[in-house]
A and B are shown apart, each in its own frame.
Chain A
Amino acid sequence: MSEVTTGGTMLQPSVRRMALPTNALTGLVLGVLGYWAGVQIGNGLGFNDSGNTGVLAGYALGSIMFLVGIGFASYPLGRLFGWVTPSQPAYDEQKGVWRYLSLSFDHKVIGIQYLIVMLMAMLFGGIGAMFVRTNLLSPDTPIFPPDKYLTLVSMHSVLMIFVASAAIVGPFGNFFVPLMIGTNRMAFPRLEALSLWLVPPALVVMLLTPVFGGFQTGWTGYTPLSEQGGQGFDSYIVGFTLIGIALVVSGVNMLTTVITLRAPGMTWTRMPIFVWGVFSASILGTFAAPVLAAALSMQALDRTMNTSFYVSSNGGSPYLWQNLFWIFGHPEVYIFILPAFGIVMELIPHFARKPLWGYRTAVVGLLGVTLLSWFVWQHHLFVSGIAPALRPFYMLSTEMISIPTGIVFLVAFGTLWRSRISMTVPMLFCLGFLYNFLIGGISGVFLSDVPSDITLHGSYFSMAHFHFTIVGGEIFAIVAAIYYWFPKMTGRMLNATAGKIHFWWMFISFNLAFTPLFAAGILDMPRRVSTYAPSLQGLNDWVTIWAYVLFASMLFFAGIVIWGWFFNSKLAVADPWHARSIEWELPTPLPRRNFTRIPTFTRPPYDYGEGDARPLIEPNAEPAPA
């Protein structure tokens, strides 16, 4: 990049600094240039590889140059050349929209950036789902060519996996964990920003796959099918690697922040349960995602340098990929759901106006899921033929995981009992979560028993199961969190009446759309098919119509958010929910520095019904360290 050097007005005349602005636009320009250069380099190597090296190198270099253009290299490069470079981007120089289109190390800005990116990704994933359902209107007459249909299925699944793995820890974890534990910043703000800015390249790379013919493997990317795929599959490798890096980076950052930056008095047992949810998901992200990255790099080598990690005829094994993928893949689904548990258990006390019942048990439950999730991955491989003697073990460990999961229900029920429930929109979504996750969880038990799994495995039953847990569970929790924290994040309320309409609309259409899929699975409909038995057409058409209604409810929700954010002149008060939680005791909008003095926590969270209304924190006398 070409640096222009000028004398800064605020600096010594002899000191040079970079004056070229860095933002999403420069990132885009450099990203495109990097992609072009990467393709040239990759193809120039002349591997016998159907052009995969070029595409892979293009994506990789494009992503790196995008990060450079965003401004990640400015500080190290500046130091290298002896310029005085601000270690923090010039936050106050950027106004309005540009603040959100530029590199920022403010965890609050990053939280909002994350939210926007995630909602956009969800839109594309949702459109993919609508295309898929449209194709399934007819049992045998395709709307899309079957290869394109599978590309749509794969893009829907991968985009939604991206969303699901980051849509809670990204927006709400980054925004609220520092507030909740009483600190002004994350432990590693640069890593925090990196975990955000790795997501847009991953999304763009994934959305580019149809240009290269798409890929037809679903999100599991099983070899050797994936190795049959053309350059479209390179999107999967690079996109997932970028998301994997983002997960590790954000996980390390979250863990360090929670372990080291808790304010005085914020003991482990005083941490809000949401922080525990993010913390346990971060443990999983930190240790699971590297397995995926390693496995993907072997796929990349198979595709570019003709290695044979996964090619059985040359001594490799497709089982290797299946094992590595699910060693990552099963903790991954708990990366989705643990922070969602955190949100639901965080919100219920505030709207039941009662302390979280069984706080320590809840923490044990979250950590129990975190631990057990490492020992269940082979339940995805019950019918694969791997190690049949181990099936009873994996069956047992899988069913055992419903014990800590059940604790979430125990805690929710204990909190609701004899409480004072106000049926606000976030509370509605939390209760909806409880119902949906109940169905999702119980159907999971059906799948965990080997004999019943033989019938249900790979059918629409398992597909309905994970849609109930991820859409009905995690997405409902995300929507609850958006309604709940939106006033704090943006300073504006979302319309409550519209929110209630949205809840019933979404809850009913979700259940009507996905419940019949259990029946479809039990009646012999495998996943990811473009054609199916004509006898199931009525069921599928019903599902498709309600899926449209569900999608419309999400568009309605987008409308509520856009209207509330951009066109609602009414400002939110600092604590619209009267919630006894630290983030609501701070002013709205939040100042650049959260706490002018690092506070001391005096009480555990959720201190409802304890007679006095003392603040949770005491501002400390001495100024906070920078």
Chain B
Amino acid sequence: MTDSSTPRYGNRAAVLVLVVATLVVFLAVFITRFVETFPYTLTSEVASQPRVVLAGTGGTETVIHLETVGAISDAIDFPKPSDPHQDWVSYLPTTTFKVPANSVVTMVIDQEDSASGLRNPFWAKAQGIIGPFHMKYYDQNGNPQEGDFTQLDDASTPAHTFAIPDLGVFVPLLGISDAAPAGSINTITFSFRVGKAGTYHWQCFVPCGSGTIYGNGGPMQTLGYMGGFLVVQ
């Protein structure tokens, strides 16, 4: 540039336009990588058969139905062939939920993953839920069982937990027993109360991101797999 005394505007403008165009394309790619990555929001449905007696609270009871899988490609209830990480462990169909404020939320979770075990056995005890949690499951001999529980006695049996730390909700989800037939589902049902509006994060406390050190990489560190938001409105 320094050697020309009379500026050639045409040339310079062309260079400038080229540079700006490159930058804009780059920025567009850059921005879309960041903005379009929220999982879609699932609104809880009003419970047709109330599970919790809501005497005097005036609140409603809504239900969220989820599935947990060891690999997205194995999903039974909510297949998600478009997901780029078919081999990742995940909650399905999404991890952002919307529930009404001052209500009771009942979670029905179809748990299809095998056990990974808790690093901190403390989480084997359910906390913050209304009453015990209900489980339809396969015992270690592969027989179907059903019952109400307040904790899992063996900390190595959970596959995942469902935890909303800000609401004090921590529930262990029993892993599929090795003896159970292929394609078995443990169904865990529990209810908790939500209060005022806000956005609360929820996550899993089992280090289930296999292949990553301390098990908390990959799906554990990416929104939309083993953690998400509970939006209370």
Contact = CB atoms under 8 A, between A and B. Distances in A.
B199 A141 contact: yes
A227 B2 CA distance: 48
A123 B24 CA distance: 12
B34 interface: yes
A124 B27 CA distance: 8
B3 interface: yes
Nearest to A146: B223
Interface stretch (A404-412, A540-548, A559-567, A601-609): A559-567
Given A140-B198, A230-B217, A566 B7 contact: yes
Given A207-B30, A567-B9, A311 B213 contact: yes
Given A152-B34, A569-B6, A569-B7, A213 B222 contact: yes
Interface stretch (B10-18, B70-78, B105-113, B155-163): B10-18
Contacts of A144: 34-35, 37
A235 to B, nearest CB: 13
B34 A148 contact: yes
Interface in B35-65: 35, 37-38
Contacts of A112: 1
B72 to A, nearest CB: 16
B175 interface: no
A491 interface: yes
Interface string A220-242: 00001001111000000000000
Nearest to B38: A145
B34 A131 contact: yes
B2 A97 contact: no
Nearest to B12: A566
Contacts of A566: 1, 7, 9, 12-13, 15-16
A490 B2 contact: yes
A147 B221 contact: yes
A146 B198 CA distance: 16
Interface string A96-113: 110000000000000010
B186 to A, nearest CB: 28
Contact of B34 (A124, A210, A565, A567): A210
Interface in A99-149: 112, 120, 123-124, 127, 131, 140-148
B5 interface: yes
Interface in B179-233: 198-199, 201, 209, 211-214, 216-218, 221-224, 229
A127 B34 CA distance: 12
Contacts of B201: 146, 531
Given A96-B11, A567-B12, A207 B6 contact: no
B23 interface: yes
A216 interface: yes
Contacts of B214: 224, 228
B221 A127 contact: no
Interface residues of B, number: 37
A567 B26 contact: no
Nearest to A123: B23
Nearest to B27: A127
Contacts of B3: 589
A531 B7 CA distance: 51
Interface in A265-314: 311
Contact of B30 (A50, A120, A210, A590): A210
Interface residues of A, number: 45
A589 B4 CA distance: 9
B33 A50 contact: no
A211 interface: yes
A216 B227 CA distance: 16
A571 interface: yes
Contacts of A227: 212-213, 217
Interface in A437-489: 489
Nearest to A127: B27
B232 to A, nearest CB: 11
A589 B221 contact: no
Nearest to A48: B211
Nearest to B1: A490
Contacts of B229: 142
A228 B199 contact: no
Contacts of B5: 571
Contact of A567 (B2, B7, B198): B7
Nearest to B229: A142
Contacts of A531: 201
B23 to A, nearest CB: 7
A121 to B, nearest CB: 12
Interface in A66-116: 96-97, 112
A229 B217 contact: yes
Nearest to A303: B213
A568 to B, nearest CB: 8
A131 B34 CA distance: 9
B43 to A, nearest CB: 16
A491 B2 contact: yes
A66 B214 CA distance: 37
Contacts of B198: 140
B33 A210 contact: yes
A562 B217 contact: no
B42 to A, nearest CB: 16
A143 B214 CA distance: 29
Contact of A145 (B9, B16, B224): B224
Which residue of A148, A211, A216 has the most chain B CB atoms within 10 A of its CB atom? A148
Nearest to B26: A207
13 contacts: A96-B1, A142-B229, A145-B37, A145-B223, A148-B34, A152-B34, A227-B212, A228-B216, A230-B217, A491-B1, A569-B6, A571-B5, A589-B3
Closest 3 CB pairs of A and B: A228-B217, A589-B2, A145-B223
Given A144-B34, A228-B217, 9 more contacts: A140-B198, A147-B221, A147-B222, A148-B34, A210-B33, A211-B33, A228-B216, A566-B1, A568-B7
Interface of A: 50, 96-97, 112, 120, 123-124, 127, 131, 140-148, 151-152, 207, 210-211, 213, 216, 224, 227-230, 311, 489-491, 531, 562, 565-569, 571, 588-590
Interface of B: 1-3, 5-7, 9, 11-13, 15-16, 23, 26-27, 30, 33-35, 37-38, 198-199, 201, 209, 211-214, 216-218, 221-224, 229
